[in-house]
Structure 1
Amino acid sequence: MNPLRRNRVHIRRNLDLIIDRNPAELPAEQLGLDPAATQAIHAALLDLYRTGLHPGLQLCVRRRGEILYDRAIGYAAGVAGDDPLHGARRPMQRDTPVCLFSASKAVTAMLVHKCAEDGLVDLDARVTDYLPEYGVNGKEQTLVRHLLAHQAGIPRIPMREPDPSLLWDWERAVAMLCAAKPLHGAGEQQAYHAVTAGFILGELVQRVSGKPLNDYLAEHFARPMGMKTFQYGLPRERHHEAARNAFTGAPLPAPLRMIARRVLGADFERVPGISNCPEFLSAVIPAGNLYATAEEATSFFEMLRVGGRYQGRQLLAPETVARAVEPASRIRIDRSLMLPVRFSMGMVLGENPFGLYGPNCRGAFGHLGFMNIICWADPSREISVAILNTGKTVAPSALYRLGQLLRTIGTQIPRDAPEAPALARAV
């Protein structure tokens, strides 16, 4: 058997039967685009699905705040992976909650920025000003901004063999990270903090606001924006609604396996199964388990794209958004990912001539989630986009088709505005 064909789902001949389309989609020409733009994006999404490496997909593209494309394809459960609790086949719908994994970090970061806007936190203050117990073993000089920009020196869970149960034991995780010894001094290096910084930032928000993290999120974003989901974890009565994740494709080659284990704290192949367990679904994991739909994710990033405004209400000050998306440093080789990355205080930034968000996307900002979930806004194209999926893979065909989808979005929706910070666009 060809190893490149392993762990793939069966693709039915008539895909129209497993597509959920939003009737609110507007014609491309009504949004200033070539009439063929929507069909080109749809064809690229189908090509990604036909790899058999994504059991279910959601894609939403907003242009100037309006919905250009919002569809789901495939199955949320029952066609791939080890899923003993919810093994019945279930279609992927546009309202199916999907775990954003690390794209959750962008939302957590904006909660911290909201605290700063309201005077509850100073991003240039020491973390110990809010969590005194954090200031041990060389972390005394760590600033809040260092945590947001992956420069705090705690990129890994401080355990020889990380226990997944740590993810749903908030107090234990915070205590362990507060006691940890950093790998380098604050601000000295950039090393992606896959899980760790989220717990400290989440604890900071809870202490200064006096509210649970989900309550603070609901108060400032989810409720004002009319979102049904958009929260860390799901209540137990909604577990059955969540899309189930699956490892697909061939096992990772040894070098990638080592990098993934260092970043994730567990073998790549194990993480999808962990994310399907009831404990993970119920937990609050600030860096890794915000549940949302593609439409909700684009609403959030669209709000940021226009300087914090949503349906006539200012949820964030334009200055807050501008600060959140400005580069925290030059592009550099990240010591965890071993790739060149440019971060802001909470976002992964785009690049030219080709970056995470497609061609010529230096003005874009957003975040990646577990290899192939991507949520972003690109002010120069006046778009916000969310690509959500359940297949966790590094198979070349999946990565190639994902790149082609990004390229298609970027070319079908050309830049029609100069690259500019969010503040300049909003005032």
Structure 2
Amino acid sequence: MSESQAKQMTWHKNGHRYHTDKIVHPADGEAWKKFDRDFTGFSMEARNVRIAIATDGFCPFGMGSSSYTCWPMFVIPLNLPPGVCMRQHNMFLTLIIPGPNYPGKHISVFMEPLVDELIHAWQQGVLTYDRATKTNFIMRVSFLYSIHDLPAYGIFYGWCVHGKMPCPTCMEALQGKRLKFGGKYSFFDCHRQFLPIDHSFRSDSNSFLSNTTVSNEPPLRLSGQEIRARLDNLVPAANGDKFVGYGKDHHWTHISSLWRLPYFHKLVLPHNIDVMHNEKNVAEAIFNTCFDIPDQTKDNVKARLDQAALCNRPELNLVQKHASSQWVKPRADFCLSRAQKKEVLEWFQTLKFPDGYGSNLRRGVNLKTMRINGLKSHDYHIMMERIFPVMFRGYLPTHVWEVLAEGGFY
């Protein structure tokens, strides 16, 4: 009913791109283009709506006062221009999944009304008035993406993202190894198979796992039809809680209600991980490890014992100076000394950012504990992309600093 907004709903098809060689809108991506090729009748009408669904859990009573979690689910129309579609007034609160428990695989039960509406909006559509053209038309709606962090990815997709097969894309083709001392599954050195077949890292037998080269190709990515066939072949276990072969042959926990959508098996990229969540986890791990913060660093005693068993890096092995003395963990070249940490934190206190961008970053610096407290997801985003390349330059070896600096590009 708004003439200006009605015009914006066709921007994905008719809008002007100033940078045609870049993806400035989801319509420029291959997932959107393939959907248009598969469903030409839908794509011919530019006013038909593509939507994204975003969800995450939060505690409405404060961060630490209760274990209660509430899951709001938002529907976002993607037809709008890039600077408009993610504004608050264009995100619609569709579902609220109440607590107090984590919804887990039961999230599909709560989503049934939403899926029913999506099926109706796809098959029958809704009679809609277009104020821009002063005409009525049948508006159809299709689901295109979901946006969430990795745990929500697992319950949306129906694949457990914990344990030895946590990748919903590679599935059972990519399995981790349980560390002898750390006790967790590790995927160290699983990345080399994704490199080009002639990459020099593949034949490097010393820098990764000791005496190990990699010649195998990466796991094949299954199509929607192939995944649907696997789901149809699942057999419920005797207890009715899981499927036969869970934990050995697969990690399927349930069949998502989104598979009821007639076109879901055609989607190239139905689930997306929110970059900000990953960025926070990576930046937090980098900071805690480089500052060697006790109980939070990834470079702990168990990690040193595991690397001694798996890698050829004797300079990182635990050493015992005398027969009766305790074992000592040598300082790694990616860890700062106490004097260097003090210099970095004092420099950090002098930083000034615009209000609303990172104005509170320096307030969390604590020179007594050599830490930075109270950082949010956006703060870690700023640190990863803007601060780390400057923060560690001159303190860490060049080969370590270059990796941290290049990490901010992605």
Shorter-normalised TM range = under 0.3
* TM-score, structure 2 normalization: 0.22
Answer 1 or 2: higher relative contact order, Cα 8 Å, separation at least 6.
Answer: 1
TM score, norm. by length of structure 1: 0.21
Rg comparison, structure with higher value: 2
